[in-house]
Chain A
Amino acid sequence: MTISHEQAEWFRSTFDQLTDNMEKAVLGKRHVVRLALTCLLSEGHILLEDFPGTGKTMLARALANTVQGSHARIQFTPDLLPSDVTGVTVYDQHKGTFEFHPGPIFHTIVLADEINRASPKTQSALLEVMEEGRVTVDGVAHPVGRPFLVIATQNPIEQAGTYRLPEAQLDRFLMKTSVGYPDRQATVELLNNAAVRDRAALVTPVITAATIAQMSGLADDVYVDPAVIGYVAELAEESRRQPHVKLGLSARGCLAFVRVAKTWAAADGRDHVVPDDIKDLAEPVLSHRLLLDAEAQFSGVDVQTVISRLLDAVAPPTDRVGV
């Protein structure tokens, strides 16, 4: 079953509406907005890494507001406990039973602000829910529902009071990107409307959770030619062969790559994935999944450099594989 042209066109139209809606709050960051929406529709999670004051939280709140669903914000601090995120089971003296009190993770969209300021133990509390969409407390699994999106922000790890996210945790995020500073035009517009204290409040819900789930289902039906799949596989293999790379693209990463590419293609009104989708998404999908060795830093090699070399090393397909 493949998505039809009409469905693809509806997908693109809806996606553009969502993007336009979010841009009311996030000025001049259409690409980042589209990436965040792609994450949402791919049922993945996004990690935003940037300096304070660049609009990470604003983006997360705008995304939460644009979907007709619940959302919560968790401010990660060093003393935050896992149960503060997932919830706790308490004894009800009136009923004489243990009762589960869900934590803030039980929302459609969860903003995990400054996630790397929490201890690794608390960070790990997100592992299960991000991968499986449920929380297990005292042996009882509690599903968080669909759609479910975690938007995590983190400060650069060089800053004081931060903990590096474990690789397993990073792999749970579908994408990692940065918002960046607004350009001059966006800054001027922002300053002209300085009276608006909460720009995220300007964003009103335009889509229901059910529609989100429907769009996710359509994205799953986008066609990926074997040649493109081979391209992704070759990129994964090459990522493990690249110098200075200690940890390459995992199988989970490959799956995420294809999944997000499907959504990205549908957002462009296409019923198929082209190699350009893979190249467009390479950096946000790969940047947090590639772990470089210690020599890379001394050699002046960063993740972006490795990804650029990777794309230079693997030729995208120009023709389909034999039918």
Chain B
Amino acid sequence: MSPRRGARRSPGGPGGPGGTSPSVTGTRTRVRPHALLPDRHSWTDIAFTLALAGVALTAFGTSFTGVGYLVVGMAGVVIAVVVTHLTRAAGWPVVSSVVICLALFFLLGGPLCLRSLGDTYALPGGATLARLADQAVFGWKDLLTTLPPVDGDGPLLVLPWLAGMLAGLMGLSLAHLPVRRAWLAAMLPVVGMTVVLSGAILLGVRHPQSLLVQGSVFTGLALAWLAVRARRASATVHGGATSYVRGVGAVAMLAAAAGIAYPASAIFTEDDTERAVARNWVEPPFDIGRYPSPLAGFRKYVDLKGRTDATNVYDKALLDVEGVPAGTRVRFATMDRYDGMVWGASDDALPGPADDSFQRVSSTIDNPVEGEAVDVTVTLGEGWRGVWLPTVGALQSMQFETSDARTKAEVFRYNLATSTAVVPTGMQPGDRYSFTAVRPDDELTDETVGSSELAPLPSGATFIQGPTEKWTEDAGPDPMDRVLAAAEHLRTQGRYSDGVGRTERIYVAGHSVWRLSDEFVNAPQMVGNDEQYAATMALVANGIGVPARVVLGAVVPEDGTVMGKHVSAWVELRAADGSWKTLPTEAFMSTTPPAEQMPETNTPMSGTVIPPPNPIPPPSDAGEQSDADLKERKATRKKADEDEESLIPGVPSWLGVVLGYVGVPVLLVALVLGGIVGLKALRRHRRRSAGSPSARFVGAWRELVDHARDLGQVVPLGPTVTRREQSVGIVSGQAGALARRADSFVFGPRTPEAGAARSYWEQVDAERRAMSQEVGRWQRVRAAISLRSLRRTSPGAVRGRRPDARPEAGAAATDAAAPATGRVVPTARRSRRVR
């Protein structure tokens, strides 16, 4: 190796901290034991990077359970820091550390992040790689749409793993980025770590823990690092305070700043409802509205009185409940939105930023509700199929215990506001699950005050206002009193029928506007069952101004086995304190059957057009879905989603994503690198085939110079530099002779011939190959894609060419060469003779 290449420039520059070398003057010089070991400044940067990254990662603290996220994240930070330092110490470019970190991300991601999925092998398979890539690209959305805290050992650990690597990579790379301006060099890594913190905050929750402490610690560390780097970048202060005094002063100022900032920030962040986190805007990718209302299928729970219907579950066991006393209400589903056809479950039915959407939840649910804690185990019976998951009270945790428990846990969603749980993949008879819950006090008392929040009456439901006014005219102004008066009217004036008997089949199922209006409240006799009564009662309460919703569920019997006959629908009213109070079915539904007489019907008359009745949803098929149907729909929807979401038609979505998000950037990078290599090849071709042999000599020499520059050699450049002067800077055995030979042909008395130029090119090519052989493979690759020789170093190099000079077939456009003959160089360029 030549001395030039062997003498690597120290990180701190000559005489700098990193450039310590054994002194020949006899003075004591601190010598680093090994080039790969960090020097003092590097240790400082590494320490601050680790500390700031650690603080930034704690922003995930409220998103994950346990400290696994922090362990994984810090592992990523440490690995990235080590890789970045080693690549830098070895003189490799920054992109090499990125590539190595990317490889380690996929190599170690399985054992670190996907342990719960069994991906613990050191050499990841295709599934593990795909899962890591998927989580790295789309994991943020999964995190944002999962109700925090997320399980600390789940696949979403990929996010802190990735964030840690990014933090380490960004912090240390920016710390060593060669920037001319001192203030910018000092600030860049701090800004980078702030970006990491901001990203972690964005992925966090609206009400984080230890916000002020985290911000203060991060700010203090960032300021300290900034000060250290700024001081390092600036000149030494002579005659100033000692370093001890300055250090104590700096610490005191930081402490003072933190002391002021802490209470001040507490004032400014008193109302943190405006805190901006991505969770505020990201919509969960789940549409509860696609599942039919269970209330519409209520008639599968009624007694058919001898008739047979395979879907009827009146006398079948739906679920076996353990852990709660008899009389406890089990909630199947809460329906909080009426669309004129059915009461159905919905997302975001409540005004304001309430947690009223169906979100993915982990095994532990952050659901702050006061009440009696219960530990419940439910085993589904033969009569239960569907996506709705019966629960009690407000869930605190959930554990599925059947064989496909993990799948169910992954898709399990829960609505905190309606206490309704769904498993989109469906529940089967025999499925068993246990949960802890809190049973709030939901009893409606005389002291209960209705909520004053105005819930707009659904469009089409205005028919209820007239009857409501009539039923409550004696109840006084209090909304709750009016609600209870209306309930009393329904209970006393209505009649109960499931529409099963021959004479009662006219009392059809459903609770559409037509059924509730014409066939119920406005009919001569209000006849219906839980479905119509609960639907009407909820509309009445909403019409009065008390927010109400319909709940389908059952009251647990003595033996704990809930059968179809135990299923009922009741209404919940919202109290002024925001809680929901139960208005039991008995309070608004009559149990008296209707008189056995045919209701009045309009006889069709000739010439009269009878409008067709409103469509009535089938009582059983619409109410519940068989598992086969659900799977078929899921499969169809999944295929449609894949076709729709796949970036490349005909290619699986995950593969399309990988190709789209990894392949395309790789392809772009390859195109850019290929373009660089192609440009150099084109330049070489133009030089080799220049118009005159003389120009070919000149071009050949420039090719040698550019090759040396691409190899990182410091070759004198500029319009006033001759070939001989350049040859001194080229680390090559033949550079001097080649320069002399080029000069002899160019300035010699004989006109050079094409054969001589060809021979000269062959010599130059051989020398270029020899120069490349002297360096390592990686440096050869770097030289091939280096932009140094393509950068124009003398904007006026061609402009000054004399008209009578031989052109170089355009190759000079990128050459740092002088004109063909002597000319005056612009003043601005005179200071750049040697680069």
Contacts and interface: CB of A to CB of B under 8 A. Distances in A.
Given A319-B694, A319-B695, A321-B802, A274 B822 contact: no
A264 B823 CA distance: 23
B720 A238 contact: no
A166 interface: no
Contacts of A210: none
Contact of B749 (A223, A230, A313, A316): A223
A54 interface: no
Contacts of B698: 318-319
B289 interface: no
B804 A233 contact: no
Interface in A295-323: 309, 311-323
B805 A319 contact: yes
A233 B830 CA distance: 20
A316 B804 contact: no
Contacts of B694: 319-320, 323
Interface string A255-276: 0000000000000001111111
A8 B833 CA distance: 33
Nearest to B800: A315
A9 interface: no
A152 interface: no
Contacts of B821: 226-227, 230-231, 234, 317, 319, 321
B819 A315 contact: yes
Interface string B704-723: 00000000000000011011
B749 A274 contact: no
Nearest to B695: A319
A223 B720 CA distance: 22
Contact of B820 (A2, A232, A276, A320): A320
Given A227-B822, A234-B824, A274-B724, A315 B719 contact: yes
B719 A320 contact: no
A319 B806 contact: yes
A225 B804 CA distance: 14
Question: Closest 4 CB pairs between A and B?
Answer: A231-B822, A223-B749, A315-B719, A234-B822
A314 B823 contact: yes
A85 B825 CA distance: 47
Contacts of A275: 722, 747, 822
Nearest to B746: A320
Given A234-B821, A279-B722, A318-B746, 20 more contacts: A227-B822, A230-B822, A235-B822, A274-B722, A274-B747, A313-B824, A314-B822, A314-B823, A314-B824, A315-B719, A316-B720, A316-B722, A318-B723, A318-B817, A318-B820, A320-B746, A320-B747, A321-B802, A321-B806, A321-B821
Nearest to B801: A319
Given A231-B821, A314-B825, A318-B698, A274 B743 contact: yes
B722 A312 contact: no
Nearest to B827: A313
Contacts of B725: 276
B808 interface: yes
30 contacts: A225-B746, A225-B747, A225-B748, A226-B821, A227-B747, A227-B822, A228-B747, A230-B821, A234-B822, A271-B749, A274-B724, A276-B722, A276-B724, A312-B825, A312-B830, A313-B824, A315-B720, A316-B818, A317-B805, A317-B818, A317-B822, A318-B698, A318-B819, A319-B805, A319-B821, A320-B746, A320-B747, A320-B820, A321-B804, A321-B805
A221 B749 CA distance: 11
A222 to B, nearest CB: 9
Contacts of A274: 722, 724, 743, 747
Contacts of B824: 234, 238, 313-315
Contact of A317 (B724, B749, B819): B819
A315 B746 contact: no
B751 interface: yes
A321 B751 CA distance: 11
A276 to B, nearest CB: 5
Interface centre among A233, A275, A320 (most CB of B within 10 A): A320
Interface of A: 2, 223, 225-228, 230-235, 238, 270-276, 279, 309, 311-323
B429 to A, nearest CB: 90
Nearest to B797: A315
B744 interface: yes
B822 A321 contact: no
Contacts of B817: 318
Nearest to A241: B824
Interface in B723-754: 723-725, 743-744, 746-749, 751
Chain B CB count within 10 A is highest, among A314, A317, A319, for A319
B580 to A, nearest CB: 87
Contacts of A232: 822
A311 B719 CA distance: 10
A312 B829 CA distance: 9
Nearest to A268: B740
A272 B747 contact: yes
B804 A322 contact: yes
Contacts of B818: 315-318
A148 to B, nearest CB: 29
**Max chain A Cβ within 10 angstroms of own Cβ: one of B749, B802, B818, B833:** B749
Contacts of B830: 309, 312-313
B701 to A, nearest CB: 8
B744 A314 contact: no
A311 B817 CA distance: 16
Contacts of A316: 720, 722, 818, 822
Nearest to A221: B749
Given A223-B749, A231-B822, A270 B744 contact: yes
A317 B695 CA distance: 12
Interface string B404-415: 000000000000
Nearest to B817: A318
A86 to B, nearest CB: 41
B743 A227 contact: no
Contacts of B827: 313
Given A271-B748, A313-B825, A319 B724 contact: no
Interface in B592-644: none
A320 B690 CA distance: 14
A315 B749 contact: no
A315 B721 CA distance: 8
A225 B692 CA distance: 16
Contact of B823 (A2, A223, A234): A234
B833 A312 contact: yes
Contacts of A228: 747
Contacts of A238: 824
Most A C-beta atoms less than 10 A away, residue of B722, B744, B804, B818: B722
A276 B719 CA distance: 13
Contacts of A319: 694-695, 698, 746, 805-806, 808, 820-821
A234 B692 CA distance: 25
Contacts of A318: 698, 722-723, 746, 817-820
A104 B808 CA distance: 58
A273 B724 CA distance: 13
B817 to A, nearest CB: 6
Nearest to A235: B822
Interface in B190-207: none
B820 A227 contact: yes
A234 B720 CA distance: 13
B128 to A, nearest CB: 59
Nearest to A232: B822
B747 to A, nearest CB: 4
Contacts of B719: 315
Contacts of A317: 747, 805, 818-822
A276 B722 CA distance: 7
Contacts of A314: 720, 822-825
Given A272-B744, A314-B825, A321-B804, A2 B720 contact: no
Nearest to B692: A323
A202 to B, nearest CB: 34
Contacts of A225: 746-748
